[in-house]
Amino acid sequence: MTSGKRVTIADIARLAGVSPGAVSFALNGRPGVSDETRQRILAIVEENHWQPSSAARALVGARANTVGFALARPARSLGSEAFFTDLIAGIESRLSENKVSLQLRLVADIAEEMEVHRQWRSSNQVDGIILIDPRDDDPRSDRIAALDARAVMIGSKPSPDGSVPSVWIADDEVAETLFSYLAALGHTRIAYVAGPAELEHTRLRAEVLDRMAADGVSGEVITTDFSPARASAVTRSLLSARPRPTAIVYDNDVMAVAGLRVAQEMGRTVPRDVSIASFDDSVIAGLINPSITAMTRDTFELGEQAATLLLQQIVAGANLPSAQGPTPTLTARESTAPPASDS
């Protein structure tokens, strides 16, 4: 049907009997053409299926209708975490509504990530950038400012003024909710099997547990590399110790499942002998036997909110304030109960 040649603004102009400039004015809703002419042009555009060339637009510095996301994580490990798929799906879902595409790129480290940001910016390939995994003294924030790019950081707290605004989840509140729930059930010895120590949320959650010593809860924090193997080993030694914890909280659902299995292999009944909970929820956590108590966070919505903030900033052409993301809620399931009176 429609053969090779692409329909350009010049074609439309010829058909409408006006100049290319006039067509551009009409299309972009700016003054310079009469309403009558505008309607005629728009009709012809419609009729001939004209599509703007994003390359040409990008060249003159207009919108690229694309947002970039460079991810500095090991590619092989991404799949085991539903987090990223949900996040990306959420981001994309909001972007799609606005006919904006997502440019995804896996990079080795922060240095390469920043290099990619520069390329994207300098060639006008993206209108905005999404950042994740904030760290202390993050070099990316300054770089983004130097590039004069719009961006959002997905993190654990509001950004300081002048740096990249964030969409954040209050990890301390999340920890407060889960640990308090266990304490209210009567647990006084709680172990927290965490991720790597350098992650911000690990620190925030551990601090909450520490503070609960005031309420008579003795907490123990063990950091891991997130691997199920480590989780199994840690669980085994926790349950062999004396006195042993009556509740174990894991940083994610995969580790919790691994821990649950170890407990069962050691002959403990969950939740009678030990309660188990996770900071991360998933479909599986609710299906397993016993189902696992977890903090449910709406990662999809987190992605949507980040995309929304970014799009708003792009339209405004300026930074906007940080925004709090969806608040995780406690989903109590079968794996938690008051501790057995004897222990």
Partner DNA sequence: CCGACTGGCTAAACCGATCAAGTAGTGTGA
Partner DNA sequence: TCACACTACTTGATCGGTTTAGCCAGTCGG
**Interface residues toward a copy of itself, by CB under 8 A:** 1-2, 4, 6, 51-56, 58-59, 64, 66, 75-76, 78-82, 84-86, 88-90, 92-93, 96, 101-107, 118-119, 122-125, 146, 148, 228, 254, 257-258, 260-261, 264-265, 282-284, 287-289, 299-300
Choose the contact partner of 34 out of a copy of itself, DNA, none; CB within 5 to 8 A by kind: DNA
Backbone angles phi, psi at 175, to 5 degrees: -65, -45
Backbone angles phi, psi at 80, to 5 degrees: -70, -15
Query: Least distance in Å: CB of 195 to a copy of itself?
Result: 16
Choose the contact partner of 32 out of a copy of itself, DNA, none; CB within 5 to 8 A by kind: DNA
Please report, as residue ranges, which positions from 289 to 318 form the binding site for DNA (by CB under 7 A).
none
The two beta strands, 329-331 and 293-296, are antiparallel
Choose the contact partner of 284 out of a copy of itself, DNA, none; CB within 5 to 8 A by kind: a copy of itself
Q: Which of 39, 43, 47, 59 binds DNA (CB under 7 A)?
A: 59
Between 7 and 46, how does the x/- string for binding to DNA read (CB under 7 A)? xxxx--x---xxxxxx-xx-xx--xxxx-xx---------
- CA nearest 319: which of 70, 168, 153? 153
- CA nearest 194: which of 275, 241, 252? 252
Closest to a copy of itself by CB, 22 vs 82, is: 82
Helix, strand, or coil (residue 55): helix
In whole angstroms, how large is the CA radius of gyration of the chain? 26
CB 297 within 8 A of CB 277: no
The two beta strands, 166-168 and 323-324, are parallel
DSSP 297: -
The residues that touch DNA, with contacts defined as CB under 7 A, are 6-10, 13, 17-22, 24-25, 27-28, 31-34, 36-37, 50-53, 55-57, 59-62
